[in-house]
Amino acid sequence: MSPRRAERPLRVGIVCPYSYDVPGGVQFHVRDLAEALIARGHEVSVLVPADDETPIPEYMTAAGRAIPVRYNGAVARMTFGPVTAARVRKWLAAGEFDVLHLHEPVTPSLGMLALWIADGPIVATFHTALIRSRPLQMAYPLVRQSLEKISARIAVSEDARRTLVEHMGGDAVVIPNGVYVDGFAQAQPDPRWTGSPERPTIAFLGRLDEARKGLPVLLEAVPRVLAEIPGARFLVAGRGETGPDEVRELLGEEAAAAVEFLGGISDDEKASLLASVDVYCGPQTGGESFGIVLVEAMSAGATVVASDLGAFSRVLDDGEAGVLFRTGDSEDLARTLVRVLRDPELRAAVSAHALEVVRQYDWATVTDQVLAVYEMVVAGRRSPVGEDPSSVRGARLLELRRGRGESR
Amino acid sequence: MRWSEITVYVTIVVALALWWVWVAASRLDRLHRKVGTSRAVLDAQLVRRATVAAELATSGVLDPVSSVLVGEAAWAALSTGTSELPADLLALVGPDDVPVGGAALLAVDRGSIESELSATLREAMDEPEEVAALRADPAGDELVGLLASSWYRVQLARRFHNEAVAQTARARRGPLVRLLRLAGHAPEPSSFEMDDAWPENLGRPGARSGSAETTPPR
């Protein structure tokens, strides 16, 4: 085997566990990965839970409607059940993939189903740094045999890897989430959101009604920041139940005026928001394994102020590429924000270092690494991804029963 | 209890036991095959890395001392890599050189030889300026890029292989699996230990430009 041999185009099947109806981090990651692979000439098909009406890119296959389920401290929309299993089986058979790439295979959704059904070169990416959940512990003996079918495990961060090592045993290689760094670096600032020395802007992005995203921590810091810098504007983007009324109730009329809700924003708007603001605030209180939005903010040139969670300090190079505050501590956040907003030199230094740090998260780098993993997995096998015979019996049984149900 | 009932119960128990044995045996079989393929992939990647190192040594882009030392280490790795034949074949090839229990000894040897290659290459690329100078030359840039990509693949393949070994060992440890000798004659797989720490100045695998990317993968 020559080291210079040309990469042969691969047929890649990717399974996304969370619904495309309500896009989130994992879904975006899957989409961007698929597009990065397609751009390099590989054939990609993505199986994703989605309503039939939800507009999805043509390389995606909808696996049916997803139901909101509480899992890992957040409400996630997942698909499951025998009908879904049949769809997964059909998709696998039609795809004849060289490699199957599952995301979150221990989340009770499409990934777990696909792993049960498929056999062959399988890669799995673990996104969460989840605390060991009791249901998973119960189901683990059942899942473990399936997990042994995975040829290569990827963790998106050192934290996700550590979770894997501690809670499931075994190891994984760390390949970070990708960001189109240049897309953010070249985004045009929007005058509506651009700050001035008297009226600096601070942005927050994320689901508003999910406590671990940390909006309450930021809101509590607002009055303290305003006491020092009366002109500060807080731009809050994202969907959720929380709105201006709740904030008025919480902070009073005066402070609430400084908080502007932008609602859900498009990708382009996000890039230009991050390119406009002085500071991006990441006040998450836990459950984060990577912090992709921090990388996006860094790429766009915003100075990041974030909680000192393990994952965040690693992304921010231990505070060299962003400023850290004590997780969940609004007072410390307010102090840090004031310090950062009043010190343009600090901001410039931190942002300059951030631009160097983010290169390792660029899709150009990340795609190469993912392809190297695919190569390792495909190299050892001659046959594409097929059906696991031990999962077939169950399916035959189900078909039989359904057949009988229909004939009645 | 009548005989017919007893027969039914016994049949069910025997069927369940057989089913369990079948499941356990197919699981072991799958794991053994997985270890076999992952080991083959790792071997191929090690050879690939040594080949690139040998090319680097003979290309003249390194200084003479580094060239000789890298070449020596690469050659040593290549010759163990290719001579790692099954014990019976080895006995045919050169009966004098093979110590008793040859395969295991060779495996240990290979890890340390590959580690030596890693250490030598790291030493040869010790200076960031040195690597930058290598990268400035188109031929050198291509070789450094190839070295980075093959080194990264060695790291990946070794992780995946050792992972498969650990899973197999776990499956083989079960008391019933041992009692029934479900593993058969398949040898106990061993993990492959070597020093494959990333050379600091090589740049991240896949990184296109060699300027800012001096961060090792974590």
Mention every residue, 6+ apart, whose C-beta is less than 8 A from residue A114: A15, A47, A88, A92, A100, A102, A105
How close A124 comes to chain B (CA, Å)?
Answer: 12
CATH code of A20's domain: 3.40.50.2000
Contact call for A170 and B52, based on CB within 8 A: no
Residue A310 shares a structural domain with residue A353? yes
Question: Which residues constitute the domain of residue B60?
Answer: 3-179
What's the Cα-to-Cα distance from B49 to each of A93, B125, B159, B189, B193, rounded to whole Å? Answer: 36, 15, 16, 23, 16
Structural domain includes residue A258: yes
Residue A354 shares a structural domain with residue A206? yes
Structural domain includes residue A103: yes
Position A306 pLDDT exceeds 90: yes
A153 close contact with B: CB closer than 8 A: yes
Contact call for A380 and B37, based on CB within 8 A: yes
Residue A185 shares a structural domain with residue A330? yes
Nearest CB partner across the interface for A151, out of B23, B150, B160: B160
Structural domain includes residue A280: yes
pLDDT for position B182: 80
Structural domain includes residue A3: no
How close A390 comes to chain B (CA, Å)?
Answer: 9
Choice between A245 and B88, residue whose per-residue pLDDT is larger = A245
pLDDT digits (tens, 9 = 90+) for B41-77: 999 999 999 999 999 888 888 888 888 898 989 988 8
Contact call for A373 and B146, based on CB within 8 A: no
Choice between A407 and B37, residue whose per-residue pLDDT is larger = B37
| Cα torsion through B77, B82, B87, B88, rounded to 10 | -160
Indicate the pairing of strand A74-78 with strand A67-71.
antiparallel
Residue A106 shares a structural domain with residue A236? no
Contact call for B52 and A3, based on CB within 8 A: yes
Contact call for B212 and A356, based on CB within 8 A: yes
Structural domain includes residue B212: no
Structural domain includes residue A387: yes
Task: Tell me the two tokens of residue A232.
Answer: 């500060």
Mean pLDDT of chain B: 79
Annotate B28-53 with DSSP letters as a single string.
HHHHHHHHHHHHHHHHHHHHHHHHHH
pLDDT digits (tens, 9 = 90+) for A14-70: 999 888 777 777 888 899 999 999 999 999 999 988 877 778 888 998 887 777 777
pLDDT for position A50: 83
- In this prediction, what percent of chain A has a pLDDT beyond 90? 31
The number of CA neighbours under 13 Å toward the Cβ of A153 is: 30
Task: Return the residue of A nearest to B41 by Cα.
Answer: A380
Give, to the nearest 10 degrees, the angle between helix A82-95 and helix A110-117.
60
ipTM above 0.90, yes or no: no
In chain B, which residues have their Cβ closer than 8 Å to the Cβ of A356? 212
Q: What is the pTM of this model?
A: 0.81
Residue A108 shares a structural domain with residue A231? no
Residue A210 shares a structural domain with residue A161? no
Res. B183 pLDDT band, cuts 50 70 90: confident
Residue A213 shares a structural domain with residue A305? yes
How close B99 comes to chain A (CA, Å)?
Answer: 30
Residue A281 shares a structural domain with residue A370? no
Structural domain includes residue B195: no
Residue A209 shares a structural domain with residue A342? yes
pLDDT for position B212: 34
CB B120 within 8 Å of CB B77: no
A172 close contact with B: CB closer than 8 A: yes
Structural domain includes residue B66: yes
Report, in angstroms and rounded to the nearest whole number, the Rg of chain A calculated over CA atoms: 23
Structural domain includes residue B207: no
Structural domain includes residue B57: yes
Res. A394 pLDDT band, cuts 50 70 90: low
Nearest CB partner across the interface for A376, out of B31, B156, B215: B156
Mean pLDDT of chain A: 84
Show the CA angle centred on residue B130, arms to residues B124 and B132, nearest 5°: 130
What's the Cα-to-Cα distance from A76 to each of A69, A109, B139, rounded to whole Å? Answer: 5, 10, 51
A101 residue type, one letter: H
Contact call for A359 and B152, based on CB within 8 A: no
In chain A, which residues have their Cβ closer than 8 Å to the Cβ of B160? 151-153, 173, 376-377
In chain A, which residues have their Cβ closer than 8 Å to the Cβ of B34? 148, 151
Domain's final residue, options A342, A360, A378: A360
Strand partners, A155: A126, A174
Contact call for B41 and A1, based on CB within 8 A: no
Structural domain includes residue B123: yes
Place of tokens 């296109």: B208
Residue A368 shares a structural domain with residue A354? no
pLDDT digits (tens, 9 = 90+) for A119-157: 889 999 988 766 556 666 666 666 777 888 898 999 988
- Report the greatest alpha carbon distance in chain B: 90
Residue A100 shares a structural domain with residue A226? no
Contact call for A359 and B40, based on CB within 8 A: no
User: How many structural domains compose chain B?
Assistant: 1
Res. B12 pLDDT band, cuts 50 70 90: very high
Structural domain includes residue A4: no
The number of CA neighbours under 13 Å toward the Cβ of A297 is: 27
Structural domain includes residue B200: no
pLDDT for position A163: 80
Task: Return the residue of A nearest to B206 by Cα.
Answer: A365
Structural domain includes residue A89: yes
Structural domain includes residue B89: yes
Q: Which parts of B59-185 fold into alpha helices (H)? A: 64-83, 87-93, 102-124, 128-136, 138-173, 175-179
Indicate the pairing of strand A259-263 with strand A233-237.
parallel
Position A221 pLDDT exceeds 80: yes
Residue A87 shares a structural domain with residue A225? no
Position B216 pLDDT exceeds 50: no
Question: Which residues constitute the domain of residue A390?
Answer: 11-178+362-407
Contact call for B204 and A365, based on CB within 8 A: yes
pLDDT for position B7: 92
Structural domain includes residue A104: yes
- The stretch A263-287 carries a mean pLDDT of 89
Exposed/middle/buried for residue B175 (C-beta within 10 Å: 0-12, 13-18, 19+): exposed
Position B205 pLDDT exceeds 80: no
pLDDT for position A406: 46
Nearest to B51 by CA among B78, B85, B80, B79: B78
Res. A4 pLDDT band, cuts 50 70 90: very low
How close A289 comes to chain B (CA, Å)?
Answer: 14
A173 close contact with B: CB closer than 8 A: yes
Distance in angstroms (rounded) separating the CA atoms of residues A97 and A396: 23
